[in-house]
A = this chain, B = another copy of it.
Amino acid sequence: MKPGAEALHNKLSLFIDFEDNDNEALDSLIDGPHQQIPRGTDIVTEGEPHRRGHVILDGWAASYKTLPDGRRQILSFLMPGDIVGLFAPVSAVCTASVATLNDLEVATFMPEEVVTVTSRSPRLGVALGWAAAREHEILAEHLVNVGRRSAAERVAHLFLEFWARLRVRGLTNGKRFTIPVTQTIIADTLGLSVVHVNRTLRQLSNQGILESNRDKAVIVDLGRLQALAGFSEDFLLNHYAPHTLRRRVEALDQMLGGAGRSLDGDGRDKTSQPQA
């Protein structure tokens, strides 16, 4: 497997056990032309029609919306293994922009290739749908964050999200990880001012909870960070309970294959605990 595809593979492994033809199908998404994109570039622009899709192989990007007066809200972060424009054709034009946060390496694909991929490997299609669903989850969690949490809680939660997402892809080094994210960007994610993000970060650092700068972050005291964030077990579960998820996939496989088998009893398996 190509090195850059590993993160994507790791991520999707949460949902399905890969078989040969899944791998082949997946490869067809990342076999397209690769591209190096310098930091600070918009690879998607709000209001413009959709172009090619991108699989992020290395680097980070962020999707965002801007208001006429320049205020900006970041919606989500895209990291290695994430896919931009997966279901692009669903809307006429892009509804948000996507900007690179550091130098990015991507594989590009044509929108219709998604159809090809899912027809070659329906199971992979399902996994991709799941991945999209999780993005929806994360968006919802961001809304809670911004709507109902204090600055410190928001920051704590965001860093835990980074950590969790990178971990799943095998991109962390214990409690240390790389984040190409300035305080300005954090501010635009959390609906705060840069100054206040700075003070909050400083406070977390002084309290021996979290160290961070533009390049990297170190979780010094995980327990207190989680306590601060009120990091919900459910959220963790979605990230760390592949077995639960795998069972769901099997159930759905049946649905797709048998088109009408009963699903009774599905979902009763909320048993397994997140293994942090």
Contacts and interface: CB of A to CB of B under 8 A. Distances in A.
Interface of A: 46-50, 65, 67-69, 71-73, 75, 87, 89-93, 95-96, 110-112, 114-116, 118-119, 122, 125-126, 128-130, 132-137, 139-140, 142-144, 146-149, 188, 190-191, 230, 234, 237-238, 241, 244-245, 247-248, 251-252, 255-256, 259-274, 276
B139 A143 contact: yes
Contacts of A237: 92
Report which residue of A46, A91, A130, A276 has the largest number of chain B beta carbons within 10 angstroms of its beta carbon.
Answer: A91
Contact of A255 (B89, B256, B262): B89
A146 B146 CA distance: 7
A190 B265 contact: no
B191 A267 contact: no
A144 B68 contact: no
Contact of A270 (B69, B92, B139, B147): B92
Contacts of A148: 67, 71-73, 188, 191
A270 B49 contact: yes
A90 B116 CA distance: 21
Given A87-B270, A272-B132, A125 B264 contact: yes
Given A47-B234, A133-B272, 15 more contacts: A75-B144, A87-B129, A87-B270, A90-B129, A90-B133, A90-B272, A91-B137, A119-B264, A119-B265, A126-B269, A129-B269, A129-B271, A136-B272, A147-B191, A256-B263
A130 B48 CA distance: 19
Contacts of A241: 92
A122 B190 contact: no
